[in-house]
């Protein structure tokens, strides 16, 4: 659980950076930028917890999340150029983030006794909804609605995670495999321009 | 309650179809389209349940809703042309849907001991908020804010339902009358271009 | 608590008026306008209460809020011209509103045993999120993301309120000072065009 918790915090931090970068590129002021960082980092988990009644939501009870999100603001501002060069690293971190949030979400909601399909759905919602809120607040059609396989990677990863949990393997192996699969699908999808369009 | 439950599922299915049709017309990918179907079908009830603290929300505990919403995707994709021809049928189903969700919402929140005005309001929110979310996510000003009497039909139907409940008539009679009134107002409003605009 | 409650209702009423005015200027119909009034008036407190699990949300249990919000509609419609002339008065009331909602939010969440930083954050969310929802629903980039110091005033006022609570002064003194500081920062920020932009 300690490793998971660490990577969870890293994921939160990376999503916060992505939100802050959007805020700066949209010329939001400092507060607006911070809000976008927040929303991107905690939006998904918050919706998941509100839907399942796991209230108060997790980040309200653990100050580390808030500290990391606030820390993302000076980080991005000071190292703007370097971070833009690190785009590929960012993309990898983002993929790690959604992979981890998927697994965490599935695990957390299974523990509430909800049915598997719902749990996989909650895993995907927790992973991607932060980005949906970020785009809605900055007045864009959420990218997730137009882009390469993104939430689909979470749904697949969550499904695999659920079936791995039925086998007699240690949980951290199931977690690692599932997170890896989400990341792999994401990388392959972007590299090969996979999409799920109806037309053409 | 069994008839109500059946029509509730039908309402969910019809709203899912409306969301899926919007997604296809907006050229969202398959996942985005499915999300719009989901949001349209369960958005209203979810907000109502979150506001009143009836958590976890209903569809999380009953897999039938999720199955029906997912089923809407291939349905619309395969029968696109026929469904477009069925526009009037769709409109009728949609009206049945908001009528039923209004009555269900009022009944559910009265059972929580909330005051009548709040319950009628919750009935309307449960009926119409799915469409508001659908439009916001697809970057439109929610149609409900510009269109013919829509939520107003729910508020009127909910009010009538509340007063009928005070009379010594069987509950299913009160339900049927109220649902019928919502549908009737809706049909008359669209046919006669009724609206509540301030200017002219 | 009685004075606080009165000003809380006044704040709700003023925010409702601001939402209704937006709805009229956007040519929403009567229902859409009323919804905007609602959302602006209760959006912030609702999000705060949902995040912290204080459900059902407050306005659902106290009909006075709903009555005041509905009353805002004929008020604005009948006195449109006068209200537009009263812009400065409106601005002052709005500032009083966010000041009060900040203090109420901090106090309410501290009572739940949450950590101080979270409580100050919840105070600011309760004060400003209604306006964010109003702008998102009317398809604008939330003004708060572009404008003069607004939420920042709430964060500062909330922080000061928290520290004042640690001193041996009566709570109403701490409340009054903090509300006054939010109002003062707001007035100075608008008068002097203070902002927190990254560039220039």
Query: In whole numbers, what is the pLDDT of chain B averaged over residues?
Result: 83
d(CA B8, CA B119): 18
Kindly identify which residue of chain C lies nearest to residue B140, measuring between CA atoms.
C139
Residue-wise DSSP of chain C = -HHHHHHHHHHHHHHHHHHHHHHHHTT--HHHHHHHHHHHHHHHHHHHHHHHT--S-HHHH-HHHHHHHHHHHHHHHHTHHHHHHTHHHHHHHHHHHHHHHHHHHHHHHHTTT--HHHHHHHHHHHHHHHHHHHHHHTTS--GGGTSSSSHHHHHHHHHHHHHHHHSSS-HHHHHHHHHHHHHHHHHHHHHTT----S--
Of the candidates C98, C123, C97, the one whose C-alpha atom is nearest the C-alpha of residue C109 is C123
| Cα-based distances in Å from C114 to A63, A191, C65, C121, C168 | 10, 45, 26, 11, 21
CB-based contacts of B8: which residues, under 8 Å, 6+ apart?
Answer: B100, B101, B104
Q: Which two tokens stand for residue B29?
A: 């990918």
Q: Higher confidence at residue C152 or residue C69?
A: C69
pLDDT for C174 = 92
Q: How many CA atoms lie within 13 A of B186 on its CB side?
A: 24
Do residues C103 and C161 lie in contact, with contact meaning Cβ atoms separated by under 8 Å? yes
Determine which of B116-120, B124-128, C23-27, C136-140 has the lowest per-residue pLDDT on average: C136-140
pLDDT tens readout for residues A79-124? 877 766 666 666 777 788 889 889 989 998 998 889 999 999 999 9
Longest dimension (CA), chain C: 52
d(CA B57, CA C193): 45
**DSSP tag of A145:** G
Q: Does C143 have pLDDT greater than 80?
A: no
Of the candidates C116, C144, C114, C141, the one whose C-alpha atom is nearest the C-alpha of residue C128 is C144
Interface test with B, best of C33, C48, C56 (most B CBs within 10 A): C56
Q: Which whole number is the average pLDDT over A61-66?
A: 88
Contact across the interface for A24 and C198, Cβ inside 8 Å: yes
d(CA C148, CA A151): 36
CB-based contacts of C19: which residues, under 8 Å, 6+ apart?
Answer: C33, C36, C37, C38, C39, C40, C41, C72, C130, C134
pLDDT for A20 = 87
Which residues on B lie below 8 Å from C35 (Cβ)? 145, 151
Which residues on C lie below 8 Å from B150 (Cβ)? 31
Of the candidates B188, B185, B150, B158, the one whose C-alpha atom is nearest the C-alpha of residue B174 is B158
Determine which of B143-157, C53-67, C162-176, C186-200 has the lowest per-residue pLDDT on average: C186-200
Contact across the interface for A27 and C140, Cβ inside 8 Å: no
Which chains form contacts with chain A, at 3 or more CB pairs under 8 Å? B, C
Q: Does C158 have pLDDT greater than 60?
A: yes
d(CA B157, CA B180): 8
Which residues on A lie below 8 Å from C196 (Cβ)? 29-31
Distance linking the first and last C-alpha atoms of chain B: 44
Q: Does C104 have pLDDT greater than 70?
A: yes
pLDDT for C164 = 95
pLDDT for B194 = 74
pLDDT tens readout for residues A150-167? 788 999 999 999 999 999
Which residues on A lie below 8 Å from B26 (Cβ)? 141, 145
The helix (run of H) or strand (run of E) holding residue B157 is helix B151-166
B33, B77, B136 member nearest A136 (Cβ): B136
d(CA C93, CA C18): 10
Measured in angstroms, the CA of A184 and the nearest CA of chain B are apart by: 18
Reading phi first (left if > 0) and then psi (alpha if -120 to 50, else beta), residue A64 is in: alpha
d(CA C6, CA A87): 52
pLDDT for C198 = 53
Total residue count of chain C as it appears in this document? 200
Helices (H) and strands (E) in chain B, counts: 9, 0
B114, B115, B145 member nearest C32 (Cβ): B145
| Cα-based distances in Å from A55 to A35, A48, A58, A124, B60 | 21, 10, 8, 19, 16
Residue percentage of chain B with pLDDT more than 90: 28
pLDDT for C86 = 63
d(CA B54, CA C195): 41
Measured in angstroms, the CA of A96 and the nearest CA of chain C are apart by: 26
Q: Which two tokens stand for residue B161?
A: 């339902």
Q: Does C1 have pLDDT greater than 60?
A: no
Q: Which whole number is the average pLDDT over B83-112?
A: 80
Kindly identify which residue of chain C lies nearest to residue A32, measuring between CA atoms.
C145
Measured in angstroms, the CA of B139 and the nearest CA of chain C are apart by: 7
Interface size, chain B vs chain C, as Cβ–Cβ contacts under 8 Å: 76
Residue-wise DSSP of A75-113 = HHHHTHHHHHHTHHHHHHHHHHHHHHHHHHHHHHHHTTT
pLDDT for A157 = 95
pLDDT for A199 = 47
Residue-wise DSSP of C123-166 = HHHHHHHHHHHHHHHTTS--GGGTSSSSHHHHHHHHHHHHHHHH
pLDDT for C171 = 86
d(CA A177, CA C85): 64
pLDDT for C7 = 66
pLDDT for B110 = 92
Kindly identify which residue of chain C lies nearest to residue A51, measuring between CA atoms.
C50
Which residues on C lie below 8 Å from A137 (Cβ)? 132, 136, 141-142, 145
């Amino acid at each position: 659980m300690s490793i998971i918790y660490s990577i969870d915090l890293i994921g939160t931090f990376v999503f916060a950076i992505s939100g802050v970068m959007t805020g700066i590129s949209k010329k939001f002021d400092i507060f607006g930028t911070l809000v976008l960082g927040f929303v991107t980092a905690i939006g998904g988990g918050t919706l998941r917890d509100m839907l399942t009644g796991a209230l108060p939501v997790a980040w309200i009870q653990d100050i580390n999340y808030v500290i990391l999100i606030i820390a993302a603001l000076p980080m991005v501002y000071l190292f703007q150029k370097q971070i833009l060069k690190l785009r590929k690293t960012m993309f990898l971190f983002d993929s790690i983030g959604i992979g981890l949030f998927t697994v965490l979400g599935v695990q957390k909601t299974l523990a509430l006794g909800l049915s598997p399909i719902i749990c996989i759905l909650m895993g995907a919602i927790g992973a991607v909804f932060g980005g949906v809120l970020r785009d809605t607040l900055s007045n864009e059609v959420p990218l997730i609605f137009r882009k390469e396989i993104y939430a689909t990677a979470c749904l697949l990863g969550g499904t695999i995670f659920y079936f791995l949990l039925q086998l007699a393997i240690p949980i951290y192996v199931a977690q690692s495999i599932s997170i890896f699969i989400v990341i792999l699908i994401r990388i392959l999808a972007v590299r090969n321009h996979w999409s799920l369009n109806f037309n053409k």
